[in-house]
């Protein structure tokens, strides 16, 4: 994976795109059911866009 071209999704965008709460995302991460966050400095965190998009695609494929 070429991380130099990877986009980082910050929390506000993540919350908006998923419709989930911060706590729900944290719980899913802890259970290994959501991509892990990256520490990008200080208290700043983000998620790799490619991992998030894959997670979202999996949800779409498994819907009933």
Write the pLDDT tens digit of every residue in 7-55: 999 999 999 999 999 999 999 999 999 999 999 999 999 999 999 999 9
User: Strand, helix or coil at 9?
Assistant: strand
Instruction: Pick left, alpha or beta for residue 19 (phi over 0 → left; psi -120 to 50 → alpha; otherwise beta).
Output: left
Q: What is the pTM of this model?
A: 0.84
Domains of the chain as residue ranges with CATH: 3-62 (1.10.238)
């Amino acid at each position: 994976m070429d991380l130099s071209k990877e986009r980082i999704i910050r929390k506000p965008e993540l919350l908006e795109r998923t419709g989930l709460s911060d706590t729900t995302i944290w719980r899913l991460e802890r259970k290994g059911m959501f991509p892990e966050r990256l520490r990008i400095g200080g208290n700043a965190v983000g998620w790799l866009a490619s991992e998030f998009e894959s997670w979202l695609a999996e949800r779409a494929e498994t819907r009933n």
